[in-house]
Amino acid sequence: MDLRSKGRRPENNLPKSDSLCSNIGSANLKRRVATVVAGMWGTMRSTASNVFHFVMIKPSHYDDDGYPIQWIRSAIPSNTLACLNALAEDARRRKILGPDVDIRLHTYDETNRRVRPDRIIRTIRKSGGRALIGLVGVQSNQFPRAIDLARPFLAAGLPVLAGGFHVSGCIAMLPELPSDLKAARAMGISFFAGECEDGRLDEVLLDAWNGKLKSIYNYMDKLPALTGEPTPFLPLKHVRRTTGAASSMDLGRGCPYQCSFCTIINVQGRKSRSRTPDDVERIIRENHAQNISCFIVTDDNFARNSDWEVLFDRVIHLRKTEFPDLVFTIQVDTLSHKIPNFIEKAAQAGVRHVFIGLENINPDNLIAAKKRQNKITEYREMIQKWRKHGAITYAGYILGFPSDTKESILRDVEIIKRELPLDILEFFFLTPLPGSEDHKMLLQNGSWMDPDMNKYDLNHRVAHHLKMSDAEWEDAYHTAWASYYTPEHARTIFRRAAAYKASRPEMTLWTVAFFFRTIEVEGVQPLEGGAFRLKFRRDRRFGMKLETPLIFYPRYAWESARKVWVYVRMYRRLKAILDEALAAPDRWTYRDVAIAPPEKDEFERLSLYHETTGGEAALARKRRDDVIRAGGHVYETPLLAKDMTMATPAEWRTGRASNPDVR
C-alpha cells in the first residue's frame, strides 16, 4: 500500500514558500503568511479530522561489529533534534497544515533510545497513515545507519527526508552527488541541504502532507538569520536520557576562520549569525521550568560569535537575579583569552567546561591546515587563564598532519603532558570529512579515501599518510591515547586541580574517569560515549549476518558484566589517586612547569618551542610581533622568509611541496 497516496489531496495552488517568501524580510512575517494561507486552505477542504505524523530521528552509527552505538544514557543531547523539534512545534502550533489537521511530533535520539520502525509504522497506520520520516542531523559517519533506518519506512511507502552535514557538506563542495547519496536517492530518499529555519520546514511539511515531497531541497546558498526563530527545545523526558541531564542550544552559527579540515565554514558559512539575548533567556526559562540548569552551547567557536558579550551579560544577569545554578559548556578558539573580558564574563556566566580547538602543537602542521590563528606561543597563557577562572579544559588534538610521524606524535603528547595544564586531551585522526576542503582536494587528486562512510567518525583512519604507513598511523593514534590516559598522568592532572581554589577536583575526576573508561573499556571515541552500552541483535548493519541468540546474548551479558567490573576498579583507583592529591601536605603549594606562571625565559627553555616542527619559526614570529607592538623595527630573518614559502594543503597532501624542507 502506498501510504503517500492514501487520502491524497487535490493539487493545490499554494505558492511555494520559496518564491512567496523571498520578497518578505522577516522570518516571523513569513511564518504568519504561511499560517494564514494554510488556515484558509484548510477551511476550504474536508472538515474531517486528519492526523499527520512528523517523526524526527537522529541516527547513531555502527561500531566495528555492525551494532549501532547506543547507551541507556548518552553523554550529550542532540541539538539538531532540539532545533528541528522547536521548529516543528512552532509549525504545529500555527496549524500550518490547516485547522483540522492534527500534527503529531515524535523525536528519537538513537544514541539513547532504540528506534523501532515497525512500531512507528504501526502507530502511523493506526491514525490514517500520513507521515514524514525525517532523518535529522545526519553526519557522514551516520549516513549508512540512516539509510538502513530508512529501508522499512520506504518499504511501507512512507516518505523519508534526510538532512544534516553529510548531505549539506557534499552538496556544498562537490560538483555532483557522491555515489552513496545517488544510491540513497535511487531508493527514494529525499534530501534537505542547508538550514531549515526561515519557514523552510513549513514548505517541507506542506509538501509531505500533499504527497509532493521533492527529491532535493537545496538551500545552501541562503543562510537564514537566527533572530526571531524558534529556539531549540527538547522535552524533559528526552533530556533525562543524557548523563548530565544537560540541554543544548546553538547561540550562533558560522566561523570566520578557514581550517582546511573543517566542514562548518562550507555549510554554515564564515559570517557570524547569532541568536538574541531574549532567545537565550527564553531557552533558559523553558528549561529551568523543567528543572534543567545545565547547558551545552554547540557553537563551534563561541569566541567568534559577534554578540558573545550581550549574550553573556544576559546570562550573568539571570544568574545573579534568579538562577544561580546555571552551568555551561562552550567551545572556543585558542585566542579567546585575547578578547577583553571574554574569559572573565564566561566565568561569571557559569562556564565550567571549555572545549578548545588546540589541534596540534607543531606550527608547520597548523599552517598546512590553514589554522594560522593557532599560536603555540599563546597556548600556555590561554589554558592557564581558563583554569584560573574555574573551567575544566578539553582540547582536541588531530593526528596525521603532514609533518607528523609516530615518533613526533608521541614526543608531542609528552610535551603537552609536561608543559600544558590541560585536563582532557582528545585525539582524532585527521579525517577528510565530506564538506571540507581536504575532502574536496583528495577527491580531485584521485587519492584513496575509505568508501565506508561509517568510518568517518575521526576514530578510524580513512586515508593514507605521506610519511607514516597505515599501520604506523593507527598505532600512533592508539598509543597517543594510551600515553595520555595513564594513572601517573591522572595524578598530575589531579594535583594541578587540587592546587587551585577555583578548580572542582571531583568533577575533574568524573571527567577523567569518563575518558579513561570510554576509550579503554568501551573502545569508542569519548564524544560518542555514554553510560551502559545497549546492543540489539536485530539492529545489526544491513548486509551483515544476524548472530544467533545463543552467541549474541551470552557474549553481550559477559561483555557488560566485565565492563562494569573494569570500570568500578578503574574508578576506585582514580578516586584513590585524587584523595591522595587532596590530602597531600603540599596541596596548595604544588607547582609544575605546566601551571607555573609564564616566565620571561620560558621561550628559551620549553620543548614546546624548540622540539616541535616549526616551533622556532613561531617563536621568531612572536618576537617580531612583540617588536612591532612595542613600536620598534623588524628585520626579516631567514626563518620568516622560509615561512613564506610554506606548502599549500594540496602540496602537503600530494607530496609536491614547494618548500624542500617539507618533502
Residue window 248-277: x/- pattern of binding to ligand B12, with contact defined by CB under 6 A: --x-----------xxx---x---------
Residue 387 within binding range of ligand B12, rule CB under 6 A: no
Place of cell 489537521: 101
Please identify, using beta-carbon distances, which residue of 259 and 283 lies nearer to ligand SF4. 259
Question: Nearest approach, Cβ of 391 to ligand SF4 (angstroms)?
Answer: 18
Q: How far apart are CA 321 and CA 155, in angstroms?
A: 54
Question: Nearest approach, Cβ of 452 to ligand B12 (angstroms)?
Answer: 14
CA 416 to chain centre: 24
Residue 68: DSSP 8-state: B
Residue window 206-245: x/- pattern of binding to ligand B12, with contact defined by CB under 6 A: ----------------------------------------
Question: Contacts with ligand B12 in 400-419 (CB under 6 A)?
Answer: none
Question: Contacts with ligand B12 in 92-111 (CB under 6 A)?
Answer: 111
Q: What angle do CA 45, 49, 55 make, to 5 degrees?
A: 105
Buried b / exposed e over 460-484, threshold 16 CB at 10 Å, is bbbbebbebeeeebbebbebbbeeb
> Which cell goes with 238?
528526552
Q: Is 190 exposed, middle or buried (0-12, 13-18, 19+ CB in 10 A)?
A: buried
Residue window 426-445: x/- pattern of binding to ligand B12, with contact defined by CB under 6 A: -------xxx----------
Q: How far apart are CA 125 and CA 513, in angstroms?
A: 46
**Closest to 127 (Cα-Cα) out of 207, 196, 215, 53:** 53
Q: What are the beta bridge partners of residue 533?
A: 71
Binding partner of 195, given ligand B12, ligand SF4, none, CB within 5-8 angstroms per partner class? ligand B12
Question: Nearest approach, Cβ of 200 to ligand B12 (angstroms)?
Answer: 7
Residue 218: DSSP 8-state: E
Binding partner of 259, given ligand SF4, ligand B12, none, CB within 5-8 angstroms per partner class? ligand SF4
Chain residue whose CB lies nearest ligand B12: 163
Binding partner of 257, given ligand B12, ligand SF4, none, CB within 5-8 angstroms per partner class? ligand SF4
- Cα distance between the two ends of the chain: 61
> Which cell goes with 658?
614547494
- H or E segment at 573? helix 549-583
Binding partner of 168, given ligand SF4, ligand B12, none, CB within 5-8 angstroms per partner class? ligand B12
Residue 161 within binding range of ligand B12, rule CB under 6 A: yes
Q: Which residues of this protein are in contact with ligand SF4, per CB under 6 A? A: 255, 257, 259, 262, 264-265, 300-301, 333, 357
Residue 163 within binding range of ligand B12, rule CB under 6 A: yes
Q: Is 541 exposed, middle or buried (0-12, 13-18, 19+ CB in 10 A)?
A: middle
> Which cell goes with 153?
519506512
Q: How far apart are CA 36 and CA 396, in angstroms?
A: 48
Question: Nearest approach, Cβ of 458 to ligand B12 (angstroms)?
Answer: 4
Strands (DSSP E) found in 507-546: 530-534
Binding partner of 139, given ligand B12, ligand SF4, none, CB within 5-8 angstroms per partner class? ligand B12
User: CB neighbours (10 Å) of residue 567?
Assistant: 20
Question: Nearest approach, Cβ of 190 to ligand B12 (angstroms)?
Answer: 9
Q: How far apart are CA 68 and CA 620, in angstroms?
A: 49
User: CB neighbours (10 Å) of residue 441?
Assistant: 18
Residue 134 within binding range of ligand B12, rule CB under 6 A: yes
Contact 169, 485 (CB under 8 A): no
Question: How many residues bind ligand B12, per CB under 6 A?
Answer: 43
Please identify, using beta-carbon distances, which residue of 357 and 402 lies nearer to ligand SF4. 357
> Site for ligand B12 (CB under 6 A): which residue of 177, 220, 527, 639?
527
CA atoms lying within 13 Å on the CB side of residue 555: 10
Q: Which stretch binds ligand B12 (CB under 6 A): 88-96, 158-166, 503-511, 546-554?
A: 158-166
Question: Nearest approach, Cβ of 446 to ligand SF4 (angstroms)?
Answer: 26
Residue 168 within binding range of ligand B12, rule CB under 6 A: yes
> Which cell goes with 354?
571549555
Binding partner of 650, given ligand B12, ligand SF4, none, CB within 5-8 angstroms per partner class? none
Binding partner of 80, given ligand SF4, ligand B12, none, CB within 5-8 angstroms per partner class? ligand B12
- H or E segment at 642? helix 638-644
Q: List contacts with ligand B12 (CB under 6 A).
A: 60-61, 76, 78-80, 83-84, 111, 134, 136-137, 139-141, 161, 163-166, 168-169, 192, 195-197, 201, 204, 250, 262-264, 268, 298, 300, 433-435, 457-458, 525, 527-528
